[in-house]
Chain A
Amino acid sequence: MSLSLAVILAAALCYAGMAGLCLAMDRHHSQVWKAKAPNRQRLLRVAGWLLLALAVWPCVQIWGGAVGPVVWCGMLSVGAFVLVLLLPYRPRIAALLAAVAAGAGLPVLLLTAG
């Protein structure tokens, strides 16, 4: 895995993961969808945690077991900041971007891991 791919992948997974956790909350769920949907929210929460955990992989691949987790912490903050800045202005685009990030990031992750 190249450095730039790892950076993009980690950022995409962190952003998508944070978006999952965020949109699972009633307050933010209602910014994108009209009605509450307990099943969808539960799914978003699980997917969010999963994506954040998977984002460790590209970091450790490039930076190793010691520095990788440090980079991951930094990427978590970056992902959350981007989301928090985008969400109040363009909630639907924020959600769409998360779907694209997860949808593109996961296959790439699988390809590079395999």
Chain B
Amino acid sequence: MSKVESGAAEGGLRQAMAWLHTWGGLWACWVLFVIFLTGSLGVFDEPITRWMKPHLPQAAEASGDTGLDDGFDRPGAVRMGQAWFEKNQPDAHFWGVGLPSDEDPSIRLFWQDPQENFHNTRIDARTGQPVDGSHERDSEGGHHFVHMHFEFHGGTAGIWFVGAFTMAMLVALVSGIVIHKRIFKDFFTFRPGKGQRSWLDAHNALSVLSLPFQLMIAYTGLATFYMLYMPAGIVAHYDSEEAYFADLLTQPQHQEITGIAAPLAKVDELLVRAEQQLQRPASFVSIEHPNDSSASVLVFGRFIEKPGEYRLLGDGGGQVFFDGVSGAQTDIQMPGELRGGAAQDVQSVMRNLHFAAFGGHLVRWLYFLSGLAGAAMLATGALLFMVKRRQRSLNEFGSATPRVYRVIEVLNVGTLTGLSIACVAFFWGNRLLPLGIDDRPVWEIVVFFVVWLLSFFHAALRPASRAWVEQLLALAALCLLLPLLNWLSVGEHLLLYLQRGDGERAGVELVALATGVLSLWGARRIARPRAVPARARQRAAVAEAQS
């Protein structure tokens, strides 16, 4: 038996797990905090997008209406889109037409050029002319937080990065359960105002009381990307991911491009046929290899939220496949139809559990609050590490210990408050960047990262206690002034939203205000010395003066 193993055995399982929880948790906690905070905000990606794009109409309450006549001429939209493509992008390998709806009354066009790069534009559903977006607030919207959450804007590498840290999260959760000696005895215990003890109580309460959510969200997050994280089975048996899915879901196989010219079938007629069979409006039409003999057309039914009907499985809008030349129907999947067997169903349920869109507003709020509890659990864990060592160094790194502690402290400040500031700064960027500039959504993300980087510099240059207070005050100011900025920049404000019944946009500002008040309170708590010690000091000073 090696020394390390015998050491762990002597100390017992609990001590070994304590070591794992402390150090395994420490290196992962900053990245996980980012994943949790942006994931919580990502729950409300649509309301955030709507706040950032004031030109979009207010969200309509789900009516569950599946009637085909909703006031939009979808066959006409398909004709307009097709005409635009024939004229401007005849050589593209893929055309996609996003159909107009209450959400967005314009026609959205997507295509993939022969070099396999994706592009998109919008045309007006009435005139067929390109939409002049220069006066609109082009924005990344809430998608920014969703993409930070699952890939850090880093593509496949980012998804792997997040997956590795999610595994670390599961390790920290299980080791945390093992080392928590009195889960049930301390279930309701929180003793505020007692320094290190209070931080440990808070860390325990946050973790234990939201434990079902934390275990579920970490596990289902991994299950969502099973094809990427556990690819061996698919790689061994299929040439491509598309081939795997076509086989699993018994859908038409992807056709290779032939290079033989063949006129495209009348897509507007295919749309009408598809809608009649799906018994609901379509949301999107995709045309693979237009004007090639391998052409295929796929019509997606609209996702329709039915009020009072909540489900974890079978909520799809349905889809119809056509041969793109002959117009023959090759497959139809009705709304709610399940394919791929029990394992696929289980995976779908897990995916839906992670995405929080299955139970209406209340479930979104529960996920938002539980996600924030997770972020707070990580934050209190990171703080606890330093609180324990601020009083008395444990000298884990020999002579380098003070420097390592300093780095940890800077990472704590820059991640916990710095990231929060960057998130609000993203909203400020949306309102302050000039309209009509190229790649405006990218500039919003640049603002986010630059502000975040600056917060690390600030944390590194200031003493820790000052850095905390200053960053909390900055966060409070940005949050509390956000409604004012909105009023000054686009002329809308909270009262207007409430009056109109626009709960989504009002919610964004109310959450900002609440965050601002909490940060102010936090800054005050840190800046003002504790009441009891202050009185004690005073007494000591008086006693000294009298003697």
List residues of chain A with CB under 8 Å of any chain B CB. 3, 7, 18, 21-22, 25, 27-28, 62-64, 66-67, 70-71, 73-75, 77-78, 80-81, 83-85, 87-89
Return chain A residues, CB-CB under 8 Å to B313: 66
**A88 to B209 alpha-carbon distance, docked (Å):** 16
Return chain B residues, CB-CB under 8 Å to A75: 366
- Residue B433, interface by CB 8 Å: no
Cβ–Cβ contact A77 & B358, under 8 A: no
Cβ–Cβ contact B192 & A74, under 8 A: no
Which single residue of chain B is at the shortest CB-CB distance from A83?
B188
Cβ–Cβ contact A3 & B358, under 8 A: no
What 19 new A-B contacts, CB under 8 Å, besides A64-B310, A77-B209? A3-B360, A18-B188, A22-B188, A25-B185, A27-B185, A64-B309, A64-B311, A66-B312, A66-B313, A67-B312, A70-B363, A71-B363, A71-B366, A77-B210, A80-B187, A81-B209, A81-B210, A84-B189, A84-B205
Return chain B residues, CB-CB under 8 Å to A89: 192
- Residue B233, interface by CB 8 Å: no
Cβ–Cβ contact A67 & B311, under 8 A: yes
Return chain A residues, CB-CB under 8 Å to B353: 70
Which single residue of chain B is at the shortest CB-CB distance from A89?
B192
Return chain A residues, CB-CB under 8 Å to B309: 64
Which single residue of chain A is at the shortest CB-CB distance from B198?
A88
Which residues 310-332 of B sit at the A interface, judged by CB distance below 8 A? 310-313
Return chain B residues, CB-CB under 8 Å to A73: 212-213
**A73 to B213 alpha-carbon distance, docked (Å):** 8
Our count of residue pairs bridging A and B at CB distance below 8 angstroms stands at: 76
**A89 to B198 alpha-carbon distance, docked (Å):** 13
- CB of B182 to closest CB in A, whole Å: 11
Q: A74's contact among B188, B213, B308, B310, by CB below 8 Å, is which?
A: B213
- CB of B183 to closest CB in A, whole Å: 13
**A21 to B313 alpha-carbon distance, docked (Å):** 35
Known: A64-B311, A66-B311, A73-B213. A84 touches B188 (CB 8 A): yes
Cβ–Cβ contact A77 & B190, under 8 A: no
Cβ–Cβ contact A63 & B190, under 8 A: no
Which single residue of chain B is at the shortest CB-CB distance from A68?
B310
- CB of B43 to closest CB in A, whole Å: 12
Which single residue of chain B is at the shortest CB-CB distance from A22?
B188
Return chain A residues, CB-CB under 8 Å to B190: 84-85, 87-88
- Residue B362, interface by CB 8 Å: yes
- Residue B369, interface by CB 8 Å: yes
Which single residue of chain A is at the shortest CB-CB distance from B353?
A70
Cβ–Cβ contact B359 & A71, under 8 A: yes
- Residue B55, interface by CB 8 Å: no
Which single residue of chain B is at the shortest CB-CB distance from A4?
B362
Cβ–Cβ contact A3 & B366, under 8 A: no
Cβ–Cβ contact B191 & A88, under 8 A: yes
**A22 to B209 alpha-carbon distance, docked (Å):** 13
**A88 to B310 alpha-carbon distance, docked (Å):** 38
- CB of A98 to closest CB in B, whole Å: 12
Cβ–Cβ contact A67 & B363, under 8 A: yes
Cβ–Cβ contact B363 & A80, under 8 A: no
- Residue B159, interface by CB 8 Å: no
Return chain A residues, CB-CB under 8 Å to B359: 63, 67, 70-71
- Residue B417, interface by CB 8 Å: no
- Residue B373, interface by CB 8 Å: yes
Return chain B residues, CB-CB under 8 Å to A83: 188
Which single residue of chain B is at the shortest CB-CB distance from A66?
B312
Return chain B residues, CB-CB under 8 Å to A85: 190
Return chain B residues, CB-CB under 8 Å to A88: 190-192
Return chain B residues, CB-CB under 8 Å to A67: 310-312, 358-359, 363
- Residue B370, interface by CB 8 Å: yes
Q: A87's contact among B188, B213, B308, B360, by CB below 8 Å, is which?
A: B188
Q: Which of A28, A73, A85 has the most CB of B within 10 A?
A: A73
Return chain A residues, CB-CB under 8 Å to B210: 77, 81
**A84 to B145 alpha-carbon distance, docked (Å):** 30
